[in-house]
Amino acid sequence: MGKPQVIALEEHYLDPEVARHFKEGGPEARDAALRERLNDVGALRLREMDEAGIDIQVLSHSAPSTQRLDAEVAPAVAREANDRLREKVLASKGRFEAFAALPTANPKAAADELFAAVTRIATGPTLVCVRDLPVKDLKELIAYAKANPGKLFHASAGYGSAPHLAAVLFESVAGIKFTHVQFKGGGPATQSLLAGDTQVNFATAPTVMGFVRAGRLRALAVSSRDASPAIPGIPGAEKAGLPGYDFTFWFGLFVPAGTPPAAIQRLHAAMLKGLAKGEVRDKIALQGMDATPSASPAAFEAEIKAEAPYWEKLVRDSGAKVE
């Protein structure tokens, strides 16, 4: 009997409204190829992992408008979604022999029960964007917000999303308050900023960089303290006028709880090998992130536990319903 194989299957969605805009041939059309390339990242990773001979990988799925779930229902929903993903794997002409569990957006509800940490993959900041607001950096944005209380509407990608939490932390450090408008994903949030319905947007790089390059949006800064090598030309928060503000988010690799430690170690070693490749790092940089693998699975788990109090407080302050 051959080795059990858990394959990485990632689905990346391009917001329909954004896709339509690019197909119409607007000023951002030059970036359409990049966005389509980002849509294919999952398939590219799968092929590269197969070519590298990696025999244990993880199955994950990312859908638009993901809902955050109550503690009582999250595990059951996770397993139900996992069953749907399993059907996709089984439909792949017998190529795959097993599957891993779908992560949920509710860490307390199901993460400890369902998953074991392998490694952090990549880390990146969000971008602080405006359209025609008369400010040129974070210092002026803060001054404008203080001079116009209640008049700055922030387009959020959804309660508890990385852009939403980045904005909540910004408010705390800057001593200001936005009026948060929640959308079902980063695409609709960005469209509201483009339309002038909102005035500021914290967003991930793939969501807004096409519009920034085309001159339709302005990026005042990245949300990390220092500038990001993956997003050249945009200052860090400290240089842009807000010392003490530092927000980044990360992606990590997890496997089902109960996976043999030896298998987790093999997967970690394979990921380190893959993330050391220049072409892999370049693909991660296309998404505005930097490859940041963990030293070991134990180190990654320790990092998560150490960060938990910080994230729990930030989530509570944000009003997101993550219990």
Amino acid 18: pLDDT: 40
**3-class secondary-structure state, position 142:** helix
Q: Report which of 303, 321, 275 is spatially closest to residue 70, judged by C-alpha positions.
A: 321
Average pLDDT over residues 150-171: 86
- Give me the CATH code for the 126-240 domain, please: 3.40.190.10
Q: Report which of 132, 211, 144 is spatially closest to residue 178, judged by C-alpha positions.
A: 144
**pLDDT at 133 > cutoff 90:** yes
Average pLDDT, the chain: 71
CB of 190 within 8 A of CB of 197?
no
Span 201-249, pLDDT tens digits: 999 887 888 888 888 999 999 999 999 988 889 999 999 999 999 998 8
Sign of the torsion formed by the C-alpha atoms of 39, 41, 44 and 50? negative
Please state the domain extents for the chain.
Answer: 16-122+253-313, 126-240
The tokens for 129 are 């964007």
Residue recorded with tokens 């405006």: 130
Amino acid 220: pLDDT: 96
165: which strand partners?
none
Q: Report which of 44, 36, 81 is spatially closest to residue 60, judged by C-alpha positions.
A: 81
**Maximum pairwise Cα distance, the chain:** 70
Span 48-107, pLDDT tens digits: 444 544 433 333 334 433 344 444 554 555 455 445 544 544 454 333 332 222 333 344
